[in-house]
Amino acid sequence: MRKDLPIWLGTLAGGFVVATRWFSLVNATGIDRTADRLIVASYAAAAAVGFIGLTRVHLRAIEARRPLWGYSIVLLVAMYGYSGVLFLLPTSAPLPNWIFQNVMGPIFSTMYGLIAFFITSAAYRAFRVRSLESALLLAAAALALLGNSALGGRIWQGWDGVLAWIMAVPVTGGFRAVQVGAALGALGTAVRVLLGLERSHLGSPQA
Amino acid sequence: MTALQRLRHLDRRWLYLGALLVTAAGALWPLRIAPHPSAETRTAFDLAQALPSGAGVFVYVEYGLGSREELDPMLAAVLGHLASRHARIVIAARSPEASQVAETVMGEVAARFPAYADGYGGSWVNLGYRPAPDVALRAATNGIAAAYNGVDYAGRPLTGMPILQALPVLDHAHFALAYAFDSGDGFAPMIYYVGTPTRIPVMIGAISMEVPVLQPYLAAGQLAAVIGGARGAAEYEALAGQPRRADVLVGASAMAAVYVLAVMLLGNVVARLP
């Protein structure tokens, strides 16, 4: 029963969504809008579950004085503090806006900026020419780097044309293959879930 | 041991320091490189330039705070261009932070155009974010106000706003263009739920790293154009005569690209040493 009920629920919910997408007759009843409202409600419920789960995990870490438990306090203060501010004030009010621009903004920009350092390290250690394929990869990376930075077009006018060809032919072909493969894989998994054949999302077989 | 041989065991923190110095130099002493407009950016510009006065444009903002440096100048350039064409702009967001980013950028743009500074609800509106954003986007093709629960970003009622009386539904009859400014997978719902069923031409403003992912959609005609990264933003600013905010980024990224290339070459030379 612990497994059968979730499987049947998944099959019914998935079949319902498929029917609303594929058959206009179903939508004529307005049931697709009901489905939309249910999805929105499930998002809100998932956020609430996440909030509660995060609180429990970090409260336990603080109680047990686990390593780095101080960061758990920071997390809870930030989460409840900002939620409280947004509960009391509209998003457009000065205080939430100040927190957004001057606290969250620099933190996220710093996180994003760290990518530059990892790229540098990877360029030094990983981009080694060991075969014809890796030499081609290195050449394509160099062309794309200079072309995207606008410097290539300044050095040689044909550079932009070369970059456009790389994007239109090998890149398009490569990504199309990846995307078609991923879509077929997703479709296969979806069919397995709908038919109740896929059970890994329900936990281990012993559960 | 020669200096080159010592480089084999180079501490990566020296590489980090070099990256910091190069990007800081690029930001402090901008290298002004005016890029030649690419065909893609020109297509995006031409489509907006051809808009008749009062045309409806839907702008979907997906990116958050991490991508602001790269995408804010692009969003500002496009919104500024649309405002100069007297377009009616409906903005929506895919996350709570994106709605605040959109509000900030559009606020700066509106301050430059009197019709927009005093024209909230008439010339533009920010619908903000709703949970299950893909569902809201799809529902907007039946009715925008209902899809966004009848309130805008700040909780003001949408009922009575002239812009939504003129543009009640996200469809081809009301909207001439749609944009997504994206740093992740926000472009996909725009194609699935807006571009393909409604036939509204969709354009994407994306971070540089995402541009390759968009190429198949561009080749298939599912996207009208892609404006890519800081370079695309600088090209668009130049074409549309907007304030040049992206030039600094182009110069800094050019210097960073040269540094990364030099590091790649050095890594290969060092690897070949006996």
Mean pLDDT per 10-residue section of chain B, whose length is 274 residues: 76 92 87 81 96 96 89 96 96 92 94 92 94 89 92 91 95 95 86 93 93 91 93 93 88 90 91 80
Q: How far apart are CA B180 and CA B203, in angstroms?
A: 6
Mean pLDDT within A100-106: 89
In a domain, A99, yes or no: no
In a domain, A156, yes or no: yes
In a domain, B79, yes or no: yes
Kindly report the number of other CB atoms within 10 A of residue A85's CB atom: 15
Chain A residue closest in CA terms to B149:
A37
In a domain, A172, yes or no: yes
CB < 8 Å to B188, chain A: none
Q: pLDDT: is B104 or A18 the higher one? A: B104
Mean pLDDT within A92-113: 88
**pLDDT given for residue A5 in this prediction:** 86
Task: Give me the residue label for tokens 């397995």.
Answer: A192
* Pair A133, B239: CB distance under 8 Å: no
Q: Does B115 touch chain A (CB under 8 A)?
A: no
CATH number at residue B207: 3.40.50
Restricting to B residues 86-105, those with a Cβ less than 8 Å away from any Cβ of A are 96-97, 99-100, 103-104
**pLDDT given for residue B152 in this prediction:** 93
Q: pLDDT: is A41 or A20 the higher one? A: A41
Q: Is B265 exposed, middle or buried (0-12, 13-18, 19+ CB in 10 A)?
A: middle
Question: Is the pLDDT reported for residue A206 higher than 70?
Answer: no
Domain count, chain A: 1
In a domain, A1, yes or no: no
The DSSP code sequence of B159-222 is TT-HHHHHS-SSSTTTEEEEEEEESSSTHHHIIIIIIHHH---EEEEE-GGGHHHHHHHHHTTS
Question: Is the pLDDT reported for residue A130 higher than 50?
Answer: yes
**pLDDT given for residue A164 in this prediction:** 86
Range of the structural domain that residue A168 is part of: 132-207
**pLDDT given for residue A59 in this prediction:** 96
Q: How far apart are CA B46 and CA B152, in angstroms?
A: 30
Backbone angles phi and psi of B110, in degrees to 5: -60, -30
In a domain, B122, yes or no: yes
Range of the structural domain that residue B156 is part of: 36-245
In a domain, B236, yes or no: yes
State how far residue A138 is from chain B, nearest Cα, in angstroms: 9
Q: How much is the ipTM here?
A: 0.80
In a domain, B87, yes or no: yes
**pLDDT given for residue A207 in this prediction:** 43
In a domain, B65, yes or no: yes
In a domain, B180, yes or no: yes
Report the SS3 class of residue A151.
Answer: helix
CB < 8 Å to A175, chain B: 212-213, 215-216
Q: How far apart are CA A100 and CA A110, in angstroms?
A: 14
Name the pTM for this structure.
0.88
Domain count, chain B: 1
In a domain, B266, yes or no: no
pLDDT > 70 in chain A, percent: 95
